Amino acid sequence: MADLYEEHKALQVKEDGVITLQDHVCVEDTFRLFLDDVPLAQIVASPDQLRELGAGYVICEGLSEQIEDVRVAKNEVRVYAKGEAIARTEPAQRKVDYELRSSGCIGVRGLPRAVVSSLVIAKAEVFDVIRQVESEVWRKTGGVHCSVLFQDGRLLVRSSDIGRHNTIDKIVGFAVLNGIGLSQCVIGCTGRQPAGMIAKVANAGVPIVVSKAASTDAGILLADRSNVTLICFARGERFSVYSHPERIAGLVKE
């Protein structure tokens, strides 16, 4: 497993003096992503769960609905899709419109799929999910985001990365590569929920996302349109539901 953090010397300055210490600092790297051997993107990410990252990126950006295989070599991630994939054509013919998102990452522009799910969870499960959104790398460095995937009240996988979008790709990729049905899953994460994050969740078919952070107006509108239950400010003993509250038992009177 790749090292996710390193030690670097720093001067810690306080009002009463200066000390020298060794700080834990998260590692970032750059990877070339290919879809069916066609160059797709350059991704800046933490150097772990790269198969999951590649598979999840393709699913979450709506480039394909099924993954055949993912191969990882040094600084390259090659994803092979089943059926039709948008990016199979040569770059000059490719009908993909990319956009620069708020976090600085590149994503595919367009409306995501609408989520179809019968999932309903208890309020207590929202708190169970958000309590798990913390990783060793975050505790060591404070420099990464974290996402978790829950199903039937159980933690399935946790991912940390320097990019909040990458953490979603990684947990979705884990589910896809392991045959886990995402329509009965809940995502928990540390990062803000703008439209680009909601689009990933919707394309993956996940009905509920819980975040410690805020959303944006575009994120809320897209969640409502895409049939995603968006929960933010999940901290301590409270949370705010911005769309489709019917998936949280007892919030909506029949």
Instruction: Report the topology of domain 123-247.
Output: Cytidine Deaminase; domain 2 (3.40.140)
For the residues 16-45, what does the mean pLDDT come to?
94
**With b meaning 16 or more CB within 10 Å and e meaning fewer, what string describes 196-223?**
bbbbbbbbbbbbbbbbbbebbeebbebb
- C-alpha torsion angle, residues 103, 108, 109, 115 (rounded to 10): -100
pLDDT band (50, 70, 90) for residue 207: very high
pLDDT in tens, 218-236: 999 999 999 999 999 999 8
C-alpha gyration radius of the chain: 19
H or E element, residue 145: strand 145-151
Residue 24 is predicted with a pLDDT of: 93
Residue 99 is predicted with a pLDDT of: 52
Residue ranges of the domains in the chain? 29-108, 123-247
d(CA 122, CA 110): 32
5, HSE (Cβ side, Cα atoms, 13 Å): 20
Lowest-pLDDT range of 24-28, 98-102, 144-148, 210-214: 98-102
pLDDT > 90? residue 109: no
H or E element, residue 2: none
d(CA 209, CA 230): 5
Q: What angle do CA 171, 172, 177 make, to 5 degrees?
A: 100
Total-model pTM: 0.89
CATH fold match for the domains 29-108 and 123-247: no
Task: Looking at the structure, give the CATH architecture of the domain made up of residues 29-108.
Answer: Roll (3.10)
Show Cβ contacts of residue 174 under 8 Å, excluding neighbours closer than 6 positions: 49, 52, 56, 149, 156, 157, 159, 180
pLDDT in tens, 131-173: 999 888 888 898 899 999 999 999 999 999 999 999 999 999 9
Residue 88 is predicted with a pLDDT of: 45
